[in-house]
Amino acid sequence: MVVVSPELVKLITSESRLLEEAYHTILNDEEVQVLWEMANVMAVKRLRYNDHGPVHAQIAAGSALYLYQLLRKRGVESTLLRDGIVDSDEEAALVPLIGGLLHDIGNSVHRDQHERVGALLAAPVVSRILEKLIEDTRKRLRLRQEILHSIYCTAYDAECLSMEAGCVKVGDGLDMAEGRARVPYSLGNVNIHSLSALSIKSVEILEGESNPVRILVYMDETAGVFQVDEVLMPKLKSTPLRRYVEVYAISGDKVLKTYSPS
């Protein structure tokens, strides 16, 4: 079991030379730093929304990577390996890592259509990062397209066509504790969005029993169920992960609602 937090991505990438190099290369990339900064200028300072910058990026990436690990541990097929895009699990895991870190950079232009804009903005960045990690040119190009797909598909109306992209989309939705909701709400306003967001206290990911992944969403008010219904579940249901993930909304020692794989 792990608690969704910004530390998770550091822990997972430290176990792989390739992932650790990718993580630190992105973290130290000046353009990425500015894109994260500007994403929060637009989202937080101007639109008065909640965080969409570097902290959220690391939470989403860590969650996406852990989801990928649990799914592969339980024998769920990697789409990238199945389709011959890459040659190893380590290379396939670059999609949840890099896609998770870059999925919200489109906010640096505008909130509107930010997933589509983000995929376009990310192309040269991803190319630059992968040049330092992957020698084979054709594999680099294939992997770049998979990462751009994962960014594009974080949009609610986009169907994820790979398990790896699905990990990014669900990992994005898991950043909801302590007011970090993925449905943007106006800071300072009191409505169902803000009340439900502030009701979520923590999110845990663990290996399930009958299903590969179990997600536990802890809240101190029943209003928190709104976040699960309106944020997490629509994301999950538009990914291949919908067949493998069970979700529990919990308040105190009471399970308020459960969601089973479809």
The CATH number of whichever domain residue 73 belongs to comes to 1.10.3210
Q: For 21-35, what is each residue's pLDDT tens digit?
A: 999 999 999 999 999
Cα 31 from Cα 40, distance rounded (Å): 14
Residue 194, pLDDT > 70, answer: no
pLDDT (0 to 100) of residue 190: 56
* DSSP H or E segment with residue 258: strand 254-259
> CA angle, 198 as apex, 194 and 203 as ends, to 5°?
130
Residue 4, pLDDT > 90, answer: yes
**Any residues with CB less than 8 A from the CB of 182 and at least 6 apart, and which?**
172, 173, 175, 176, 231, 235
Closest CA to 200 of 235, 248, 154: 248
What's the structural domain count of the chain?
1
Q: pTM for this structure? A: 0.94
Cα 95 from Cα 171, distance rounded (Å): 12
Is the sign of the CA dihedral 165, 167, 170, 176 positive or negative?
negative
The range of the structural domain enclosing residue 99 comes to: 2-259
Q: For 66-113, what is each residue's pLDDT tens digit?
A: 999 999 999 999 999 999 999 999 999 999 999 999 999 999 999 999
Residue 195, pLDDT > 70, answer: yes
Q: For 148-186, what is each residue's pLDDT tens digit?
A: 999 999 999 999 999 999 999 999 999 988 777 655 445
Residue 215, pLDDT > 60, answer: yes
Q: What is the DSSP string of 221-246?
A: SGGGHHHIIIIIHHHHHTSGGGGTEE
> Among residues of the chain, what percentage have pLDDT more than 90?
84
Residues 110-134 have a mean pLDDT of: 97
Return contacts of 194-201, CB within 8 angstroms, 24+ apart.
195/221, 195/223, 196/221, 196/223, 196/224, 196/225, 196/226, 196/227, 197/50, 197/227, 199/223, 199/224, 199/227, 200/176, 200/224, 200/227, 201/177
Helix (H, G, I), strand (E, B) or coil at 2: strand
pLDDT (0 to 100) of residue 259: 97
Measured between its terminal Cα atoms, the distance across the chain in Å is 23
